[in-house]
Structure 1
Amino acid sequence: MTTTAPTTNGRVIALAHYSARALLEGVLTRHGATFEQSVVLRAAVTAGDSVGRDALVSDVIGSLKADESAVRGVIDGLTATGLLERLPADASRLRVTETGRDLYDTTTAETAEFSSRLYADIPAEDLAVAGRVLTLLTERANAELTRD
Protein backbone atom coordinates (compact mmCIF):
# COMPACT_ATOMS: atom_id res chain seq x y z
CA MET A 1 0.00 0.00 0.00
CA THR A 2 1.23 3.51 -0.82
CA THR A 3 2.34 5.39 2.27
CA THR A 4 2.37 8.86 0.75
CA ALA A 5 -0.74 10.33 -0.80
CA PRO A 6 -0.15 11.71 -4.29
CA THR A 7 -2.13 14.66 -5.52
CA THR A 8 -5.22 13.53 -7.36
CA ASN A 9 -4.81 14.22 -11.04
CA GLY A 10 -5.64 12.63 -14.37
CA ARG A 11 -2.70 10.24 -14.24
CA VAL A 12 -3.54 8.93 -10.77
CA ILE A 13 -7.17 8.44 -11.77
CA ALA A 14 -6.18 6.76 -15.05
CA LEU A 15 -3.78 4.38 -13.32
CA ALA A 16 -6.50 3.30 -10.89
CA HIS A 17 -9.00 2.91 -13.72
CA TYR A 18 -6.74 0.89 -15.98
CA SER A 19 -5.50 -1.34 -13.18
CA ALA A 20 -9.05 -2.22 -12.15
CA ARG A 21 -10.13 -2.54 -15.78
CA ALA A 22 -7.31 -5.02 -16.44
CA LEU A 23 -8.69 -7.19 -13.63
CA LEU A 24 -12.21 -6.91 -15.06
CA GLU A 25 -11.04 -7.73 -18.57
CA GLY A 26 -9.31 -10.84 -17.25
CA VAL A 27 -12.68 -12.04 -15.95
CA LEU A 28 -14.47 -11.09 -19.16
CA THR A 29 -11.88 -12.77 -21.37
CA ARG A 30 -12.31 -16.06 -19.50
CA HIS A 31 -15.99 -15.88 -20.45
CA GLY A 32 -15.46 -14.79 -24.05
CA ALA A 33 -16.76 -11.26 -23.51
CA THR A 34 -15.34 -7.79 -24.09
CA PHE A 35 -15.42 -4.71 -21.90
CA GLU A 36 -17.80 -2.99 -24.32
CA GLN A 37 -20.15 -5.98 -24.26
CA SER A 38 -20.16 -5.93 -20.47
CA VAL A 39 -21.10 -2.25 -20.46
CA VAL A 40 -24.00 -2.90 -22.84
CA LEU A 41 -25.21 -5.90 -20.83
CA ARG A 42 -25.03 -3.95 -17.59
CA ALA A 43 -27.03 -1.08 -19.09
CA ALA A 44 -29.64 -3.52 -20.44
CA VAL A 45 -29.89 -5.39 -17.13
CA THR A 46 -30.25 -2.23 -15.06
CA ALA A 47 -32.87 -0.87 -17.47
CA GLY A 48 -35.35 -3.51 -16.29
CA ASP A 49 -37.48 -5.89 -18.32
CA SER A 50 -36.63 -4.25 -21.63
CA VAL A 51 -35.05 -1.12 -23.04
CA GLY A 52 -35.49 0.82 -26.25
CA ARG A 53 -32.61 0.22 -28.61
CA ASP A 54 -32.00 3.95 -29.08
CA ALA A 55 -32.08 4.55 -25.31
CA LEU A 56 -29.57 1.73 -24.81
CA VAL A 57 -27.31 3.19 -27.50
CA SER A 58 -27.50 6.61 -25.88
CA ASP A 59 -26.78 5.22 -22.41
CA VAL A 60 -23.71 3.32 -23.59
CA ILE A 61 -22.40 6.24 -25.65
CA GLY A 62 -22.65 8.33 -22.50
CA SER A 63 -20.79 5.72 -20.46
CA LEU A 64 -18.04 4.86 -22.93
CA LYS A 65 -17.82 8.10 -24.88
CA ALA A 66 -17.83 5.80 -27.91
CA ASP A 67 -18.94 6.28 -31.48
CA GLU A 68 -22.62 5.51 -32.09
CA SER A 69 -21.89 3.05 -34.89
CA ALA A 70 -19.47 1.15 -32.64
CA VAL A 71 -22.08 0.88 -29.88
CA ARG A 72 -24.73 -0.27 -32.36
CA GLY A 73 -22.23 -2.87 -33.59
CA VAL A 74 -21.74 -4.22 -30.06
CA ILE A 75 -25.51 -4.39 -29.57
CA ASP A 76 -25.91 -6.18 -32.92
CA GLY A 77 -23.19 -8.65 -31.92
CA LEU A 78 -24.86 -9.37 -28.57
CA THR A 79 -28.16 -9.88 -30.37
CA ALA A 80 -26.57 -12.17 -32.96
CA THR A 81 -25.00 -14.33 -30.25
CA GLY A 82 -28.24 -14.57 -28.30
CA LEU A 83 -27.25 -12.50 -25.28
CA LEU A 84 -29.81 -9.82 -26.16
CA GLU A 85 -33.05 -10.27 -28.08
CA ARG A 86 -35.65 -8.06 -29.69
CA LEU A 87 -39.08 -8.13 -28.14
CA PRO A 88 -41.50 -10.01 -30.41
CA ALA A 89 -44.19 -7.36 -29.93
CA ASP A 90 -41.82 -4.40 -30.44
CA ALA A 91 -38.58 -4.92 -32.37
CA SER A 92 -37.32 -1.49 -31.26
CA ARG A 93 -37.00 -2.83 -27.71
CA LEU A 94 -34.38 -5.25 -26.42
CA ARG A 95 -34.11 -7.51 -23.40
CA VAL A 96 -31.38 -9.62 -21.91
CA THR A 97 -31.80 -13.33 -22.61
CA GLU A 98 -31.30 -16.01 -19.99
CA THR A 99 -27.85 -16.68 -21.45
CA GLY A 100 -27.02 -12.97 -21.30
CA ARG A 101 -28.24 -12.77 -17.72
CA ASP A 102 -26.12 -15.79 -16.77
CA LEU A 103 -23.03 -14.16 -18.28
CA TYR A 104 -23.76 -10.87 -16.52
CA ASP A 105 -24.39 -12.57 -13.17
CA THR A 106 -21.28 -14.75 -13.44
CA THR A 107 -18.92 -11.94 -14.40
CA THR A 108 -20.45 -9.62 -11.80
CA ALA A 109 -19.94 -12.22 -9.06
CA GLU A 110 -16.33 -12.86 -10.11
CA THR A 111 -15.65 -9.13 -10.29
CA ALA A 112 -17.12 -8.63 -6.81
CA GLU A 113 -14.48 -11.00 -5.42
CA PHE A 114 -11.53 -8.84 -6.42
CA SER A 115 -13.44 -5.59 -5.89
CA SER A 116 -13.95 -6.44 -2.23
CA ARG A 117 -10.19 -6.91 -1.90
CA LEU A 118 -9.48 -3.61 -3.69
CA TYR A 119 -11.78 -1.61 -1.41
CA ALA A 120 -10.96 -3.51 1.80
CA ASP A 121 -9.84 -1.35 4.72
CA ILE A 122 -10.52 1.95 2.96
CA PRO A 123 -12.52 4.06 5.40
CA ALA A 124 -16.09 4.83 4.34
CA GLU A 125 -15.43 8.56 4.63
CA ASP A 126 -12.49 8.31 2.21
CA LEU A 127 -14.65 6.40 -0.27
CA ALA A 128 -17.37 9.04 0.07
CA VAL A 129 -14.90 11.86 -0.63
CA ALA A 130 -13.44 9.97 -3.60
CA GLY A 131 -16.94 9.35 -4.93
CA ARG A 132 -17.85 13.05 -4.69
CA VAL A 133 -14.62 14.16 -6.34
CA LEU A 134 -14.83 11.64 -9.18
CA THR A 135 -18.50 12.47 -9.80
CA LEU A 136 -17.66 16.17 -9.98
CA LEU A 137 -14.76 15.49 -12.36
CA THR A 138 -17.04 13.38 -14.56
CA GLU A 139 -19.68 16.13 -14.66
CA ARG A 140 -17.09 18.74 -15.58
CA ALA A 141 -15.49 16.58 -18.25
CA ASN A 142 -18.93 15.83 -19.74
CA ALA A 143 -19.65 19.57 -19.79
CA GLU A 144 -16.34 20.18 -21.59
CA LEU A 145 -17.26 17.55 -24.18
CA THR A 146 -20.49 19.42 -24.99
CA ARG A 147 -18.63 22.74 -25.46
CA ASP A 148 -17.24 21.72 -28.85
Structure 2
Amino acid sequence: MTTTAPTVNGQVIGLAHYAGRAVLESVLALHGATFQQQITLNRVTGGPVERDALVEEVADALKVGTAEIQGVVDELIAKGSLAAQASQVRLTDTGKTFHAEVSAEVGEISARLYAGIPAEDLAVAGGVLAQVTERANAELAARRS
Protein backbone atom coordinates (compact mmCIF):
# COMPACT_ATOMS: atom_id res chain seq x y z
CA MET A 1 0.00 0.00 0.00
CA THR A 2 1.36 3.40 -0.96
CA THR A 3 0.51 6.53 0.92
CA THR A 4 0.45 9.93 -0.64
CA ALA A 5 2.27 12.69 1.21
CA PRO A 6 -0.12 15.41 2.35
CA THR A 7 0.11 18.87 0.90
CA VAL A 8 1.77 21.21 3.36
CA ASN A 9 -0.75 23.43 5.10
CA GLY A 10 -1.33 24.81 8.57
CA GLN A 11 -2.79 21.58 9.88
CA VAL A 12 0.13 19.46 8.67
CA ILE A 13 2.66 21.95 10.04
CA GLY A 14 0.77 22.17 13.34
CA LEU A 15 0.55 18.40 13.76
CA ALA A 16 4.29 18.04 13.14
CA HIS A 17 5.02 20.86 15.58
CA TYR A 18 2.84 19.45 18.35
CA ALA A 19 4.16 15.92 17.89
CA GLY A 20 7.74 17.14 18.15
CA ARG A 21 6.94 19.46 21.02
CA ALA A 22 5.26 16.62 22.95
CA VAL A 23 8.44 14.56 22.60
CA LEU A 24 10.56 17.50 23.79
CA GLU A 25 8.23 18.18 26.71
CA SER A 26 8.45 14.52 27.77
CA VAL A 27 12.24 14.87 27.93
CA LEU A 28 12.00 18.20 29.77
CA ALA A 29 9.54 16.77 32.31
CA LEU A 30 12.17 14.22 33.33
CA HIS A 31 14.43 17.18 34.16
CA GLY A 32 11.72 19.20 35.92
CA ALA A 33 11.69 21.85 33.20
CA THR A 34 9.17 23.41 30.84
CA PHE A 35 9.17 24.17 27.13
CA GLN A 36 9.30 27.91 27.82
CA GLN A 37 12.29 27.45 30.13
CA GLN A 38 14.18 25.45 27.50
CA ILE A 39 13.52 28.01 24.77
CA THR A 40 14.68 30.77 27.10
CA LEU A 41 17.88 28.92 28.05
CA ASN A 42 18.63 28.24 24.38
CA ARG A 43 18.85 32.00 23.83
CA VAL A 44 21.50 32.40 26.56
CA THR A 45 23.96 29.68 25.51
CA GLY A 46 26.23 32.15 23.70
CA GLY A 47 26.97 34.20 26.79
CA PRO A 48 25.34 36.90 28.91
CA VAL A 49 22.41 38.73 27.33
CA GLU A 50 20.36 41.76 28.27
CA ARG A 51 17.40 40.51 30.28
CA ASP A 52 14.89 42.82 28.59
CA ALA A 53 16.10 41.82 25.13
CA LEU A 54 15.89 38.13 26.08
CA VAL A 55 12.35 38.53 27.34
CA GLU A 56 11.28 40.38 24.18
CA GLU A 57 12.94 37.84 21.87
CA VAL A 58 11.44 34.79 23.59
CA ALA A 59 7.99 36.37 23.95
CA ASP A 60 8.05 37.23 20.24
CA ALA A 61 9.24 33.74 19.25
CA LEU A 62 6.59 31.99 21.37
CA LYS A 63 3.88 34.57 20.64
CA VAL A 64 3.17 35.15 24.34
CA GLY A 65 3.21 38.20 26.59
CA THR A 66 6.42 39.55 28.05
CA ALA A 67 5.07 39.15 31.59
CA GLU A 68 4.92 35.39 31.05
CA ILE A 69 8.56 35.26 29.95
CA GLN A 70 9.62 37.58 32.78
CA GLY A 71 8.16 34.89 35.04
CA VAL A 72 10.08 32.18 33.20
CA VAL A 73 13.35 34.09 33.64
CA ASP A 74 12.55 34.49 37.34
CA GLU A 75 11.90 30.73 37.59
CA LEU A 76 15.23 29.96 35.93
CA ILE A 77 17.04 32.29 38.31
CA ALA A 78 15.28 30.68 41.30
CA LYS A 79 16.24 27.19 40.00
CA GLY A 80 19.85 28.28 39.68
CA SER A 81 19.98 27.81 35.90
CA LEU A 82 20.40 31.54 35.23
CA ALA A 83 22.20 34.20 37.19
CA ALA A 84 21.38 37.91 37.05
CA GLN A 85 24.21 40.42 36.65
CA ALA A 86 22.96 44.00 36.61
CA SER A 87 20.69 44.15 33.53
CA GLN A 88 22.01 40.89 32.08
CA VAL A 89 21.45 37.20 32.67
CA ARG A 90 23.85 34.34 32.02
CA LEU A 91 23.84 30.57 32.25
CA THR A 92 25.18 29.13 35.48
CA ASP A 93 27.07 25.84 35.67
CA THR A 94 23.76 24.21 36.61
CA GLY A 95 22.14 25.76 33.52
CA LYS A 96 25.00 24.64 31.29
CA THR A 97 24.78 21.07 32.60
CA PHE A 98 21.01 20.98 32.14
CA HIS A 99 21.26 22.41 28.64
CA ALA A 100 23.97 19.91 27.63
CA GLU A 101 22.01 16.93 28.96
CA VAL A 102 18.74 17.93 27.30
CA SER A 103 20.49 18.84 24.04
CA ALA A 104 22.15 15.42 23.92
CA GLU A 105 18.86 13.59 24.56
CA VAL A 106 16.96 15.70 22.03
CA GLY A 107 19.79 15.29 19.51
CA GLU A 108 19.45 11.51 19.67
CA ILE A 109 15.67 11.71 19.26
CA SER A 110 15.98 14.18 16.38
CA ALA A 111 18.42 11.87 14.62
CA ARG A 112 15.79 9.12 14.76
CA LEU A 113 12.98 11.42 13.64
CA TYR A 114 14.88 12.71 10.60
CA ALA A 115 16.67 9.47 9.72
CA GLY A 116 16.32 8.52 6.08
CA ILE A 117 14.88 11.83 4.93
CA PRO A 118 17.05 13.11 2.08
CA ALA A 119 19.00 16.29 2.80
CA GLU A 120 17.44 17.93 -0.25
CA ASP A 121 13.94 17.30 1.10
CA LEU A 122 14.90 18.74 4.48
CA ALA A 123 16.36 21.82 2.78
CA VAL A 124 13.19 22.38 0.76
CA ALA A 125 10.98 21.87 3.81
CA GLY A 126 13.16 24.27 5.80
CA GLY A 127 12.86 26.92 3.10
CA VAL A 128 9.10 26.54 2.90
CA LEU A 129 8.69 26.72 6.66
CA ALA A 130 10.94 29.79 6.88
CA GLN A 131 8.76 31.54 4.28
CA VAL A 132 5.55 30.56 6.06
CA THR A 133 6.96 31.80 9.38
CA GLU A 134 8.02 35.11 7.84
CA ARG A 135 4.62 35.63 6.24
CA ALA A 136 2.72 34.65 9.38
CA ASN A 137 4.83 37.05 11.46
CA ALA A 138 4.10 39.84 8.97
CA GLU A 139 0.39 39.03 9.07
CA LEU A 140 0.40 39.07 12.86
CA ALA A 141 2.27 42.39 12.95
CA ALA A 142 -0.27 43.90 10.54
CA ARG A 143 -3.15 42.73 12.72
CA ARG A 144 -1.56 44.22 15.83
CA SER A 145 -1.02 47.65 14.27
In the superposition, the TM-score normalised over structure 2's length comes to: 0.95
Structure 2 partner of 1:27: 27
Q: 2:57 aligns with which of 52, 56, 59?
A: 59
Q: Could you tell me how far apart the structure 2 residues matched to 1:52 and 1:135 are?
A: 26
Aligned partner of residue 87 in structure 2, secondary structure: strand
State the distance in 1 between where 2:79 and 2:8 align.
Answer: 41
**Paired residues, number:** 142
Which stretch shows the higher mean deviation, 55-64 or 65-74? 55-64
Could you tell me which residue of structure 1 aligns to residue 44 of structure 2?
44
Determine the structure 2 residue equivalent to 1:94: 89
Q: CA deviation at 1:4?
A: 1.0
Match of 1:117 in 2: 112
Q: Does the alignment pair 1:3 with 2:3?
A: yes
Instruction: Identify the residue that residue 18 of structure 2 maps to in structure 1.
Output: 18
Determine the C-alpha separation between the residues in 2 that align with 1:123 and 1:49.
34
Q: Take 1:107 and 1:92, find their aligned partners in 2: how far apart are those partners?
A: 27
Extract structure 1 runs of 4+ deviating beyond 3 A. Answer: none
Task: Read off the aligned partner of 1:25 and give its amino acid letter.
Answer: E
The separation in 2 between residues aligned to 1:135 and 1:31, in whole angstroms, is: 30
Matches of 1:114 and 1:49 in 2, distance apart? 26
- The aligned runs of 1:74-93 (5 Å cut-off) are 74-87=72-85, 91-93=86-88
Partners of 1:125 and 1:10 lie apart in 2 by 22
Q: Tell me by how many angstroms 1:80 deviates.
A: 1.3
Which of 130, 133, 136 is the equivalent residue of 1:138? 133
Q: Please, which runs of 5 or more residues in structure 1 have no aligned partner? A: none
The unaligned stretches of length 5 or more in structure 2 are none
Query: What SS class does the counterpart of residue 43 from structure 2 fall into?
Result: helix
* TM norm structure 1: 0.93
CA shift at 1:59, angstroms?
1.3
Q: Which amino acid aligns with 1:14?
A: G
Q: Distance in 2 between matches of 1:8 and 1:86?
A: 42
The Cα shift of 1:9 comes to 0.5
